[in-house]
Structure 1
């Protein structure tokens, strides 16, 4: 199929529609590549940092293990350790409001929520493109059929020469809409599944981190 047919017909509405679909497709592939890289790096870092953190013999070595980390496990561990220090530095004040257990739960849960939000970056874009691109392509299809009907009306007969151009525009618009939507939907489903696996690891780590810090802090 000749995609340049859209521009050769010199229809501003269809050209705008096609350019919008190209933009949506470009954004989709940018998000796919970016999120794919981030996901693979994050998954590898989670396994590595969890193993490294639990090899620590005390809080001092645990701090050193995560002090330079910029990955989810490291950030959550630093948030928990900081909460423990903050509680002991202001123990009299915090003790009146809540205990160490509640304070650690609150801080670690907030850190976990932040990591979950980071994992979901770009997902809204993929979902939006996956759901709207077919309708944008459908608009181009309807516009092409409309032109075909006008050509039939002006010529007085439904000849191939009269409808070939407009119907070609309609087919191009349909293909462009699917080309933008299908990768977005597939990527969205893949990342949703992958994020659930990562979140399960982070949930487990958050639970273990809370109990470990509570045990250290209560001594």
Structure 2
């Protein structure tokens, strides 16, 4: 029974000779065999693979579906498949799984237009999610949901604000959409990576909730 196709980030490739390390299935007897890109679950595993087969190269990490999808779309023939954590022995690639690039692109790497990489973080407080009161273009008050691209930034905000709160990870577009849909009547925009100092919260980048829901938090066609 074939192992399920799944992985976690960061995912590692081996940069080698102007491209990335690939192998050939020893059971492929075609005159022009297909090549299989090797991917590895950790830097240590990638380094072990390099040492075992005398590969001079450098591990390179992919951090999310968007980067993995871009890499796969850039590959040229004869590379047509991907192997995850291969440990070749005699006539067997001995990988956790092998999949066609076409299958990964069509069934597993469905990316969206989010203006950030996941996970992102919000701060959950006793009375709801942490937010900031700002002003719109007319000077009227609006509420902005505070959203952080890094857990440490969220924790630092909690520390500076000196209030109770917990950084909650949002792992995908759907999770963020659900929160924004639930808050759209009370929150007008999202404040990205706000900082709290001198009793004020400020952010250099804000984006409206409606724009996020309509243009960004949708699948990339």
| Alignment TM-score > 0.5, same fold | no
Larger strand share, 1 or 2? 2
Give the number of the structure with larger relative contact order, counting CA–CA contacts within 8 Å between residues 6 or more apart: 1
TM bin, normalised by shorter chain, reads under 0.3
Larger helix share, 1 or 2? 1
Q: TM-score, normalised by structure 1?
A: 0.23
